[in-house]
Structure 1
Amino acid sequence: MPFGGEPPQLLKQRLLYQGRRFSFESSRLRLPNEQEGEWECIRHPGGALAVPVTPEGKLILLRQYRFTVQGRLLEFPAGTVEPSEGPEETIKREIEEETGYRAHRWRKLGEYFMAPGYSDEIIYAYLAEDLELLENPPGQDIDEDIETTLMTVEEVDRAIHSGDLADAKSISAFMLARPFLK
């Protein structure tokens, strides 16, 4: 992803927290205009997301419990990129674990930042087509509570506009996929 302009000068950096999936750091920077300040940032390895389309043209979404919002969110299958894999490997693994399907045709839709005001997390979005229902899917991780649901493109549109689908990464990916959906 291209960026423009002169980068700031890093004066000091402190790791405030190192977690299982992300870290939190504080940096003192001198901007190109010579102003100095403190910035905090969540460092995240990134995520991969798929908009899966069944042979019948239905989209596979998940209702997943999210601790941060204390409830279930409607979203497309996604997962954190592990250190040993790239985004393509991540989403191929996640779609099988979370939906029980394997995609045989992939199209990269794009990549985007989730919340660049405080995090470097980037999402790699894909369209997953030519799906095959697996006889023995690997199953969800033990820390996940997921229900799958099939929706038409129109139903997803309505869910976004009604607020039932309020997950930013899923809405962004759906908009990128929209020209390829019937």
Structure 2
Amino acid sequence: MPEERVRIREVQTLSDDWYLLRKTTFDYRRADGRWQTLTRETYDRGHGAVILLYNRARRGVILVRQFRYATFGDGHDGFLVEAPAGLLDRASPEDRIRAEAEEETGHRVTDVRKVFEAFMSPGSVTERVHFFVAEYDAASRAGEGGGLEEEGEDIEVLELSIDDAVGMMASGAIRDGKTIMLLQYAQLHLFPRDQA
């Protein structure tokens, strides 16, 4: 049995409104064997999934632009260019990301491929994000996209060349971490330089 490293002392709920914010006091056994009492706040918003839709023949990707209040409140204009994403809401990552792709972009994709998963902000947020890719073409277009109005979504669909998307990443026009990770994955695995 592994050595005990954490003993929970107290868990307080600070907010249970939009998502769950907790304050936990715990004892942590340091590498030298001494115990230290620490307090951390964690924000639990559930787990999520994100997808990069790509068209290898056209060297294209589909991204979306939408308003994000948290970035607006931090001095940005609030409009981020992102890969389609959403919270799992008790669905499997594969099912949820298929639905999100269609809601946000209008493309119905069935063959989604998981490429990795990651904790996006492990110092304070419990969310684990599942990263997917899927090919799109004219036949996968099932609607207009744009998101769900009842969820406050007002999404613009962007079809870009991979080169333009990478240029936007380099210029700072794309600042979303999960999107940057997927575009870098695409550069390495979906659109390698020897195919340019």
TM-score, structure 2 length as denominator?
A: 0.83
Task: State the 1:137 CA deviation.
Answer: 5.6
Correspondence for 1:29: 26
Letter in 1 for 2:20: S
Contact 2:49–2:88 (CA under 8 A) maintained in structure 1: yes
**Comparing both structures, which one devotes a greater share of its residues to helix?**
2
Unaligned runs of 5+ in 2: 73-77, 192-196
Change in CA separation of 1:5 and 1:64 when aligned onto 2, cut-off 3 Å: farther
Deviations 1:75-98 (A, max 9, x none): 110011112x01111100000000
Distance (Å, rounded) in 2 between the aligned partners of 1:113 and 1:6: 23
Distance (Å, rounded) in 1 between the aligned partners of 2:103 and 2:3: 41
Residue aligned with 2:29, SS: coil
Partner residue of 1:66 out of 59, 65, 68:
68
Residue aligned with 2:109, SS: strand
Partner residue of 1:133 out of 104, 127, 141:
141
Residue aligned with 1:159, SS: helix
Larger Cα-atom Rg = 2
Q: Following superposition, which runs of at least 4 residues in structure 1 exceed 6 angstroms of deviation?
A: none
Aligned residues: 176
Task: State the 1:127 CA deviation.
Answer: 0.5
Contact 2:14–2:22 (CA under 8 A) maintained in structure 1: yes
Residue aligned with 1:31, SS: strand
Distance (Å, rounded) in 2 between the aligned partners of 1:87 and 1:115: 19
Contact 1:60–1:148 (CA under 8 A) maintained in structure 2: yes
Unaligned runs of 5+ in 1: none
Deviations 1:14-59 (A, max 9, x none): 1111134x21000001001300011111112111000001363310
